[in-house]
Amino acid sequence: MIIHIVGGGPSDCIPSFRRYDGEEVQWIGVDRGVWNLLRAGIRPVKAFGDFDSLDSAELSHVQTALELDIWPAEKDKTDMEIALDWAVQRDAELIRLFGATGGRLDHLFGNVQLLVKYINKRIEMVDKQNIITVHLPGTYTIFANEYPYVSFVPISLDVTGLTLKGFKYPLTNCHIPLGSTLCISNELIQSSGTFSFTDGILMMIRSKDLGGDV
């Protein structure tokens, strides 16, 4: 099972839902993300949020179409975190977050923190130009795809032992301190490559320039 969570981020940052749909996929709407799913002809299995981003007509339409899990505006978790908490209990093999980037930067950084909270789960944050993942120490293989640029950003004080193979700019056992831009905008030069490191928490961002099918 794959779970896709759609938040209320700007719709012009969100790729086509149909590209990611399938029989094994369950969709979850978060706040305005519910409205965007319904407009795309997709009925989510769950809908979470305070729904303060919907006007009265939109909210009435959504309430007619779905049973909503409504939360107060003042609470200790974001709407996205509530939805993600629910999703991780479903033992999904992959969770993707849409509508989690663009717009307000506090929402973006809050959603990155959720990737760290559930770092042991396979979670991707996806928009039209980027796929963001967060990793613990280990060895990982990635494959060339439509996102040609690969950046690595430490989100702990230090990342040690970083080794990149199959990249335009390889590294061997490199120390990357917090604040470093050494590993921004690399590229695979083979059909696949590996990255590995021995300590710290590392964010990988795969990016592309806009244009063509998104």
Q: Which residues of the chain have pLDDT under 70?
A: 211-214
Domain extents in the chain = 2-128, 135-207
Rg of the chain, C-alpha, whole Å: 18
- CATH top-level class of 2-128: alpha beta
Residue 115 has a pLDDT of 97
- CATH top-level class of 135-207: alpha beta
pLDDT in tens, 117-147: 999 999 999 999 999 999 999 999 999 999 9
Residue 72 has a pLDDT of 75
Residue 103 has a pLDDT of 85
Q: Do domains 2-128 and 135-207 have the same CATH topology?
A: yes
